[in-house]
């Protein structure tokens, strides 16, 4: 009888420990995430670099002529947001960036978030003429804003706070 009790206690303890580990690993999701990709060349990567090759093929999809492929060169920023307060509406994502040719000038793009959605994905692209004239993006910052209040932000390593 004692061995049955000890066995069930050991199973219960192991289950408790696993539950605690899984719950603590779950955590709360980040309110804003930024994934960046820089398309530098129209030449497709070889088979060893499958992830880069896949991203290149995705970005160059339907670009048939060489001119169309050149227009796709540049920086792509995919911003995903997950904020329960966004359901009320009135929120927007602001993407601020500096390019090589713009010196210290901060450029920005803004997208309003659809009311009623608490999560989603938005993409900002610096491609084509903006990329050819302005050069590569040196630093960036993504802001999730409600009214005048910054709800969440993510920035590159080179972004200087206080701009």
Contact 91, 151 (CB under 8 A): yes
What average pLDDT does the segment 60-64 reach?
84
More confident residue, 161 or 95: 95
Give the model's confidence band at 162: pLDDT under 50 very low, under 70 low, under 90 confident, else very high: low
Please name the residues in contact with 99: beta carbons below 8 A apart, sequence gap of 6 or more.
107, 126, 134, 135, 136, 137, 138
In a domain, 74, yes or no: yes
In a domain, 15, yes or no: no
What average pLDDT does the segment 118-122 reach?
90
Total tally of structural domains belonging to the chain:
1
* pLDDT at residue 146, rounded to an integer: 87
* pLDDT at residue 86, rounded to an integer: 65
pLDDT tens profile 81-108: 998 876 667 889 999 999 999 878 999 9
* pLDDT at residue 79, rounded to an integer: 95
In a domain, 146, yes or no: yes
Contact 72, 39 (CB under 8 A): yes
Angle at 121 between CA 117 and CA 127, to 5 degrees: 145
pLDDT tens profile 17-47: 444 444 445 556 788 999 999 988 887 777 7
Q: Coil, strand, or helix at residue 103?
A: coil
Q: Which range marks the domain in which residue 87 is found? A: 32-155
The yes-or-no verdict on residue 8 having pLDDT over 70 is no
Token pair in block for residue 5: 């009790």
In a domain, 22, yes or no: no
CATH number for the domain spanning 36: value is 2.60.40
* pLDDT at residue 138, rounded to an integer: 93
* pLDDT at residue 23, rounded to an integer: 45
Consecutive H or E run containing 98: strand 91-99
Please name the residues in contact with 28: beta carbons below 8 A apart, sequence gap of 6 or more.
none
């Amino acid at each position: 009888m004692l061995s049955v009790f000890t066995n069930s206690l050991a199973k219960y303890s192991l289950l408790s420990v696993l539950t605690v580990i899984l719950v603590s690993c779950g955590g709360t999701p980040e309110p804003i995430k930024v994934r960046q990709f820089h398309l530098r060349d129209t030449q497709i990567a070889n088979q060893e670099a499958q992830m880069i090759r896949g991203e290149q093929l995705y970005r160059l999809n339907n670009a048939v002529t060489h001119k169309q492929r050149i227009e796709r060169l540049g920086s792509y920023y995919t911003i995903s947001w997950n904020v329960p307060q966004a359901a009320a509406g009135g929120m927007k994502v602001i993407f601020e960036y500096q390019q090589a040719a713009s010196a210290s000038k901060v450029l920005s793009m803004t997208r309003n978030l659809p009311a009623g959605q608490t999560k989603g994905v938005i993409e900002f692209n610096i491609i084509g003429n903006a990329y050819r004239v302005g050069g590569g993006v040196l630093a960036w910052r993504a802001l999730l804003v409600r009214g005048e209040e910054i709800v969440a932000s993510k920035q590159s390593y080179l972004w200087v706070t206080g701009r």
